[in-house]
Structure 1
Amino acid sequence: MRTVGSLLSRLRAHPAVVGAGLVVVMLLAGFVGWRLTGGGEYVAPTPSTAPVVRADTDAARASLDELVTGVREGAEPKGEDPASVAVRNAHAIGIEDVTAEYVAESGHVDSDGSWSADVEMSWRGPGDPALTEELRVGFDGDGAITGFSAVRGTRMPLWLSGPVEVRRSGSTLVVVQASAEVADRYAELAATAVAEVREVVEWDDPRLVLEVPASGLDSALGVQQGTYTAVAAVTATVDGSTRPGTPLHVWVNQGVIGDLEAPGAQVVITHEATHAATDAPANAHRPMWLVEGFADHVALRDTKLPLSRTAGQILAQVREDGPPDHLPGKTEFNTRSEHFGAEYEAAWLACEVLADAGGEEALVDLYEATGRGIGLEKALQASFGFGEDELTARWRSRLSESAR
């Protein structure tokens, strides 16, 4: 049986007829297609007469204006649609100075007229600077808002993410996507954390803000999915900058901390509150082991838990491989590290070595001195009378002894 393939092979064998042969092949291919569809007279396809559905951008802009007006005027909406929920959240939290500028459609318009668009939104939380993010906003065929989501690389604000419970005191603000009971728990953890931190460091005007998303921290912080899957909480500037003095919030991972018993959960929140009180995320002077170890010193100073609970991971590593040869640095403090968690325990024990050697006040002096830019070696000598080499030796001995 002769096929189009055999004809092609023959044409390739005779270059002189390739040009004409290609025309023959195309015609033959068309003929085969015509035969396979049943023959008959060829009829050109009829152009589609379906109406083109266009986005009602005027209605969308009106919905955004209504959202902004609702937040600014303070009227309490009664609906459960995303815009009404956002307005209620804003009132409860104290969000102000909201703006929403329609930028452009994102993707196609569905047959029912719904679509999404990029919208530049700005707002200001209590005690925070004005924040601006480009967000993805969904609209139905009538231009009503159907939801909010983050554009890749931007932070998704909690007040636009769904219903929240809000708890506030003179020194704390807690925003939780969970039940009232869960919100009460976090409010208690926050209040205790402030009190525990103030026992160690000066925090004259304490302000601790907890944000607790319903699921994970990645979207709330605008990072790649999976970055903070195993992290219980993160303290960061509200705008993602590293400018000293920029207000800090603590983002809490319910999927991790929710499984902890009360003492463990309190350690996490007090640890993060220490970062907030000392402006740790925006201070690039202190070595990482001191930042994390000091925060754990504050969080664990009154705990009665055994070392098997507070340093179990690092001690297991020491039993297997011996003590590390250097204090943990930025490379070790990696959220995707195979031994994530052991580094924090190692850093904590380094700070405990210092506290045992010179007392808690000397440890606080070291922390504050390095925060002012004084080099670690000089600060260690001033507070303890020995340098980093001696500290490392004492720390390695402590690890080895504790691992027995």
Structure 2
Amino acid sequence: MAGRRRARGSPVPGLWLLLASLFVSLVACGGRPATDGAKADVQRVLDRRAAAVLGHDESAYAATGTAAGYAAVRAVPLAAWSYRVTAVHRDGDSATADAELSYRVDGYDRAPVIANRTLSLTRDGDGQWSVISEKPAEKTGEQLWDQGTVSVVRGTHSLVLGVGQSGERLRSFADLADDAVPAVSAAWGTDWAGRVVVLVPNSLEGMAGLLGSPASSYRGIAAVTTGETGGGSKAPADRVIVNPDAYGMLGRVGRQVVLTHETTHVATRAHTNAATPLWLSEGYADWVGYRDTGRTPAEAAPELQHAVTGGTVPAALPTDGDFGFSGDASRLATAYEGGWLACRMIAARWGEVKLDAFYRAVGEYKERPGAVEGALKSVLGTSLPRFTADWRAYLRDQLA
């Protein structure tokens, strides 16, 4: 274990004698050391299983146990797939293994995606272990192939993986993503991968399963992006995960805005960290999403317009808590709209280049305190109180 130091000094003779006598007594009574070879045996089985996945060898896969699951993952373009057994809990000829599944999607993942898995195994009369089942470890999200057979559609700048979706529908997502990537690059720049992975499960429940959260947390949310904030070259590619129930209720412009918004998160991830408030990360993604649509503030911010015309102008920029998916829908919509209009104001008053520079400057801080204030001063030449006052005036001007 990193950072752990071994104690130095002479052993205590009496202690050594005690340990030696205990060991002899365990062996004499038929006791089995913890490292009895089962872990190594299971690792070898999973090594063969992984090689079969990469080699597209269904018969070799079936030779390691149940063939269930092979067809589900077969179409996914994989550059790597391996298991690392972390523990084996054995009960006679049955065992449960804890393992880390490590995989990379070819052409997209810069580093492996790691998923904790639980496997059930049985041992035959010849002492050979075989896999009965594999599933996500407790309290972890599913992989898309856990939900059914994965279909794949490739776009120019995108890879779309879906379960229970027609090829035509998956192609529509690829087309939207292919339009989103150049739109994001036009706004943000080209210092990102310039491609996106989109996962389309069969339902809201499927989306929630991938995220390891209750479905109620994402009802009405059309899509989310998962990834490592501040992720550099050693972070795997982000995943845009679609809620097909909510997404299907959107019109053509709305669907494009959503995919462009989520693709913006992919592009900006390396410059997004704990210092970045959600009003900026979500507001900027909405700004890019709406940038070429011609939508007016009144059309794109109906909840906030309703509040402003009713005489209630927010006193402060949205907090991170305002963006909670499981909270009040009106509060969530108002938060997104407020963040969008803050970024829109920066682009209109200081210019798009300054908006991008402000986003990056905030991300150069490691912690939240002082990050926005410092970037406002260094990039925009203003203070947080002054910026907030200007934003409130901008809301009145655009929405009243």
> TM-score, structure 1 length as denominator?
0.72
Query: Contact 1:174–1:209 at 8 Å: present in 2 too?
Result: yes
1:146, distance to aligned residue in structure 2 (A)? 7.6
Any idea what SS the aligned residue of 2:216 has?
Answer: coil
CA distance in 2, matches of 1:389, 1:286: 18
CA distance in 2, matches of 1:81, 1:276: 35
Q: Which runs of 5+ in 1 are unaligned?
A: 1-59, 109-114
Corresponding position of 1:135: 117
Corresponding position of 2:313: 323
CA distance in 2, matches of 1:85, 1:393: 58
Any idea what SS the aligned residue of 1:125 has?
Answer: strand
Any idea what SS the aligned residue of 1:175 has?
Answer: strand
1:392, distance to aligned residue in structure 2 (A)? 1.3
Q: State which of 175, 184, 192 in structure 2 corresponds to 1:188.
A: 175
Query: Contact 2:298–2:399 at 8 Å: present in 1 too?
Result: no
Matches within 5 A, 1:288-303: 288-303=278-293
Change (3 A) 1:130 1:352: closer
Q: State which of 96, 100, 113 in structure 1 corresponds to 2:80.
A: 96
Any idea what SS the aligned residue of 1:199 has?
Answer: helix
CA distance in 2, matches of 1:281, 1:166: 30
Any idea what SS the aligned residue of 2:306 has?
Answer: helix
Query: Contact 2:101–2:117 at 8 Å: present in 1 too?
Result: no
1:104, distance to aligned residue in structure 2 (A)? 6.0
Corresponding position of 1:49: none
CA distance in 2, matches of 1:179, 1:121: 31
Cα RMSD, aligned residues only: 3.6
1:189-228 superposed Cα distances (whole Å, 9 cap, x missing partner): 1111111001011224413111222223322122344322
CA distance in 2, matches of 1:370, 1:386: 14
Q: Which runs of 5+ in 2 are unaligned?
A: 1-41
Any idea what SS the aligned residue of 1:352 has?
Answer: helix
1:330, distance to aligned residue in structure 2 (A)? 0.9
Query: Contact 1:70–1:87 at 8 Å: present in 2 too?
Result: no
Larger Rg over CA atoms: 1
Matched, 1:123 2:109: no
1:70 maps to a residue whose letter is A
1:234, distance to aligned residue in structure 2 (A)? 1.7
Query: Contact 1:116–1:136 at 8 Å: present in 2 too?
Result: no
Matched, 1:344 2:325: no
Q: State which of 268, 275, 282 in structure 1 corresponds to 2:265.
A: 275
1:85 maps to a residue whose letter is A
Any idea what SS the aligned residue of 1:331 has?
Answer: helix
1:211 maps to a residue whose letter is L
Change (3 A) 1:224 1:95: farther
Matched, 1:75 2:54: no
Matches within 5 A, 1:37-48: none
Query: Contact 2:184–2:288 at 8 Å: present in 1 too?
Result: yes
Matched, 1:367 2:363: no
Q: State which of 184, 190, 210 in structure 2 corresponds to 1:220.
A: 210
1:341-394 superposed Cα distances (whole Å, 9 cap, x missing partner): 221111101111111111111211211221222832342234333222222112
Q: Aligned residues, how many?
A: 339
1:125 maps to a residue whose letter is R
CA distance in 2, matches of 1:186, 1:328: 31
1:151-207 superposed Cα distances (whole Å, 9 cap, x missing partner): 332121113331122123453222122110111011111111111001011224413
Corresponding position of 2:16: none
Could you tell which deviates more after superposition, 186-195 or 390-399?
390-399
CA distance in 2, matches of 1:145, 1:179: 31
CA distance in 1, matches of 2:356, 2:220: 29
Query: Contact 2:297–2:399 at 8 Å: present in 1 too?
Result: no
Corresponding position of 2:38: none
Change (3 A) 1:353 1:229: same
Corresponding position of 1:210: 198
Any idea what SS the aligned residue of 1:226 has?
Answer: helix
Any idea what SS the aligned residue of 1:154 has?
Answer: coil
1:63, distance to aligned residue in structure 2 (A)? 8.3
Query: Contact 1:235–1:275 at 8 Å: present in 2 too?
Result: yes
Query: Contact 1:122–1:133 at 8 Å: present in 2 too?
Result: yes
Query: Contact 2:73–2:149 at 8 Å: present in 1 too?
Result: no
Q: How many percent of aligned residue pairs carry the same amino acid?
A: 29
Q: State which of 303, 308, 312 in structure 2 corresponds to 1:313.
A: 303
1:99-143 superposed Cα distances (whole Å, 9 cap, x missing partner): 27596689x9xxxxxx99555241312324334433355789999
